[in-house]
Amino acid sequence: MLSFLLENWVLILAAVVSGGLLLWPSLRGGAGGGSVATGEAVRLINRERGVLIDVCEPREYAEGHAGGARNIPLGQLAGSKELPADKALPLLLICASGARAGRAVSQLRKAGYTNAVSVAGGLRAWRDAQLPIERGDAPAKSATKAARAAPTDKTEKSDKADKADKAAKSTAA
């Protein structure tokens, strides 16, 4: 037995190292819960009402982000009002490469979001999987801009009142 180990130490070392590399993601909290592949991310979004959150800075987000993602920069994540109130919902965090998303997962898990995971490979993996990419401002910002551009009830009422006043003056004159 000892002679077998001594003669084949290289093969045994290779087996131990490869086994360790296979277990490493599980030990780190990766494949077992810290990150998911893009296919699993899409499944969580579609079937379990998962929320996709991009933790990039607004400039990076505007340059291109995963379709339907909310933008909450990593520095503003703690205590953000844009996070779902239901802490049991799956939160899928994404950034350019996956590094910031991993830190965001740690923050959110400490805050009680038990189903927070990062999208492995980040936006690069999202693009490689040919999933939708959007460009432009955050949806919340564009909704705010649209709300500002749309006439309010008060504006419509004052416009109608102005028209009525002009009609009354032209009729009286």
Q: Is residue 140 part of a domain?
A: no
Q: Is residue 100 part of a domain?
A: yes
Measured CA to CA, the distance from residue 122 to residue 154 in angstroms comes to: 45
Would you state the pLDDT for residue 27? 53
Number of domains in the chain: 1
Spatial contact of 29 and 102, defined as CB atoms under 8 Å apart = no
Q: Given the structure tokens 């740690």, which residue do they identify?
A: 106
Would you state the pLDDT for residue 104? 94
Q: Is residue 2 part of a domain?
A: no
Would you state the pLDDT for residue 34? 85
Structural domain harbouring 94? 28-135
Closest CA to 120 of 47, 33, 14, 56: 33
Q: Is residue 61 part of a domain?
A: yes
Would you state the pLDDT for residue 79? 84
The CA dihedral of 95, 97, 101, 103, to the nearest 10 degrees, is -140
- Run means of pLDDT, 10 residues per run, the chain, 173 residues: 85 87 59 78 95 96 94 92 94 93 93 94 94 77 32 38 47 47
